[in-house]
Amino acid sequence: MTPAKLRVVLATGNPHKLREVTEVLASPWLEVVPLGDFAGAGMPREGVKSLRDNALAKARAARDFTGMTSIGDDTGLEVDILGGAPGVSSSRYAGENASYDDNVRKLLGVLQSISRHERSARFTCWIALAFPDGREKLFRGHCAGHITFVPRGTNGFGYDPIFVPDGRKSTFGQLSPALKNRLSHRGRALRSLKLYLRKTYREMYARQDSNLRPADSKSDALSS
């Protein structure tokens, strides 16, 4: 008997992020449920201490509100010549209510006189997984590259139009969603998360199967 899907809550109100996460995690055994599907649910305010702490805060808040296994993430763009800024403040770089375009314009303005060889940067993504029983697991992904002088492309979101990953000539904003997910910081962290969730699902299947079968019966292997 195949168990029900593993259902996990994604703590985000960002439709672009929701789409990326569901695309990478897509599996017949897994269902990603946005936190917004739960009436009255709210997102915790992001702090300025670390991406890791923000991811944990989101996952914990979603788990505590829904009682379900939950995922939280936070991502930052770290520019070397700026000492890692905007970093944990990436989404608020141009102000608390800044738009994607506002943040991009500010960063390009700050880097206006900086040469191509000094525009190295990286995206870092932290993903936190929080279980109802209190267990927690963290996953991290990086993508190194550089910042362009002008935005290029309309795909993606955030700083994607001005970030070129190493080994490529196109920005994330010019890449197809599938290729971006294969190369990106979030894609890498999500694939590690997916492997862990698959292991969790197999263990859940094994427990249910052992409860249903006679003691001397062997469980069939679960296909991936």
**Residues labelled catalytic:** 74
Report d(CA 138, CA 59) in Å as an integer: 10
Are 36 and 96 contacting, i.e. CB atoms less than 8 angstroms apart? no
Report d(CA 202, CA 224) in Å as an integer: 9
Report d(CA 129, CA 187) in Å as an integer: 15
Report d(CA 191, CA 112) in Å as an integer: 35
Strands 6-10 and 30-34: parallel
Beta strands in 80-202 (DSSP E): 86-87, 120-130, 136-147, 163-165
Cβ neighbours of 109 (radius 10 Å): 10
Location of structure tokens 């300025």: 48
Phi (first) and psi of residue 58, to 5 degrees: -65, -45
